[in-house]
Amino acid sequence: MTELLAVRDLVVNYHTQRGVVRALDGVSLSIGKGEVVGLVGESGCGKSTLARAILGVLPAPASEVKAASLSFGGENLLALASADIARRIRGRRITFIPQDPYGSLNPLFTIGQQMLDLMQWKSPLAIPARRGAWPALLTRYPAARRARDRAAILEMLEAVQIPNPEQALAKLPHELSGGQRQRIVIAMALLPQPELIIADEPTTALDVTIQAQILRLLHREVKRRQVSVLFTTHDLGTAWEICDRILVMYAGQEVEAAPTAAFFAAPRHPYTARLLQSLPRADGVAQDIPGEIPSLLSPPPGCRFHPRCAEASADCRTKRPPVTGSAHVVRCYHPLDAPGEAAA
């Protein structure tokens, strides 16, 4: 699969009054064209930090970002000027679906105004593929393009199953239900025809029944358009439903990545194996992982899971384990056996 996004050894530290929060400790991730990748981990493990680092919206100057590479469509995002990313990439080639749709919509303007504003600045027609002078298109909004964009908006509202799209355009955000607002935000993420959508826990704030509908809808529309997605969630069940591949993080370190079926069939990292065991079973039994998630102000050295791991050895406590495997990769000195592999 052609690689669209490649993040290598991403480190993010937040400088706070309490000290340095070591939020990401050399995380690597790749996303292929048209691939839906689930970034899974418990709250505080660094999912939103990773999402924001890719979008280039970490708080400055409090955050410190380093990476061996952060490439998107063959361009090194770390080498681009922030104004260039804002103009050509963010909101256009990479779009965002936040957890809270209400927060990303302006309460004072109608849905129609906000969607037309988006299209004026971020439709593929508004931004030239090459860097250079601002086109005349950007200084005004020609009526013909506005009419075409309005038609595209109405078509997209049909695709995300908003009832009565014309009427919805005249409404203010608070006049819609939470599920409808999230459908609008999904429509706004799709309209610029992006190559990558970053969806940061997009259904967490919704009722369970609505969550399932929205997930199905998002999956159908991105697959139809062959858009890649980085989908963050703390819920393995959600990742199972819509992701082609899963990457699990623990306390700012990625620990395992594999195609979804292979991952669920045979997790290889002790933490992910315990995480799967901690899901409630049909008989209601769930096994919690003993111990606590470490503070990222003073995380344990080596493998950050070592204080909770029954397999931990001296290396685990001092040196971060290397990546092993190809399609199913694991960062562990003592991974569980791959299916069909003899014990070492």
14 interacts with ligand ADP by CB under 6 A = yes
Q: State the DSSP H helix or E strand holding residue 198, giving kind and residue range, or none if neither.
A: strand 196-200
Query: Any contact of residue 48 with Mg ion (CB under 5 A)?
Result: yes
305 binds, among ligand SF4, ligand ADP, Mg ion, none (CB under 5 to 8 A by kind): ligand SF4
Q: Is 150 exposed, middle or buried (0-12, 13-18, 19+ CB in 10 A)?
A: middle
Residue 73 contact partner, candidates ligand SF4, ligand ADP, Mg ion, none, CB within 5 to 8 A by sort of partner: none
Minimum distance of ligand SF4 from residue 42's CB (angstroms): 15
16 binds, among Mg ion, ligand ADP, ligand SF4, none (CB under 5 to 8 A by kind): ligand ADP
Dump the DSSP string for 72-126. ETTEEGGGS-HHHIIIIIBTTTEEEE-S-HHHHS-TTS-HHHHHHHHHHHHSTTT
Binding partner selected for residue 284 from ligand SF4, ligand ADP, Mg ion, none, CB under the kind-specific 5 to 8 Å limit: none
Taking the least distance from each CB to ligand ADP, the nearer of 14 and 263 is: 14
In angstroms, the Cα distances linking 235 to 52, 77, 226 are 20, 29, 24
Q: Which is nearer to ligand ADP, 19 or 135 (CB)?
A: 19
Looking at beta carbons only, is 14 or 72 nearer to ligand ADP? 14
Window of 46-54, 71-79, 259-267, 279-287 that interacts with ligand ADP by CB under 6 A: 46-54
Name the site residues for ligand SF4 (rule: CB under 6 A): 269-271, 303, 305-306, 309, 311-312, 316, 321, 332-334
DSSP letters for 201-237: STTTTS-HHHHHHHHHHHHHHHHHHT-EEEEEES-HH
| Span from 24-32, 46-54, 274-282, 303-311 in contact with Mg ion (CB under 5 A) | 46-54
Q: CB under 5 A: which stretch of 42-50, 164-172, 207-215, 288-296 binds Mg ion?
A: 42-50
d(CA 247, CA 237): 14
Query: What is the distance between the alpha carbons of residues 314 and 302, in angstroms, rounded to a whole number?
Result: 9
When binding is defined by CB under 6 A, the residue of 32, 34, 44, 124 that contacts ligand ADP is 44
Of 47, 183, 245, 304, the residue at the interface with ligand ADP (CB under 6 A) is 47
Q: Which is nearer to ligand SF4, 263 or 271 (CB)?
A: 271
Report residue 111: phi and psi, to 5°: -60, -40
Residue 128 vs 299, nearer CB to ligand ADP: 299
71 touches Mg ion by CB under 5 A:
no
State the CB neighbour count (10 A cutoff) for residue 9.
Answer: 14
Per CB under 6 A, contacts with ligand ADP among 264-303 are: 296
* Listed ranges 45-53, 136-144, 163-171, 176-184: which one lies at the site for Mg ion (CB under 5 A): 45-53
Q: Classify 291 as helix, strand or coil.
A: coil
Instruction: Please report, as a single letter, which amino acid is at residue 97.
Output: I
Q: CA nearest 211: which of 184, 181, 238, 188? A: 238
Describe the crossing of helices 178-190 and 208-225 by its angle, rounded to 10 degrees.
10
233 is an interface residue for Mg ion by CB under 5 A: no
Please answer whether residues 36 and 218 qualify as being in contact, where contact means their C-beta atoms are separated by less than 8 angstroms. Answer: no
Q: Which residues of the shown chain bind ligand ADP in the complex (CB under 6 A)?
A: 14, 16, 21, 23, 41, 43-49, 59, 62, 296
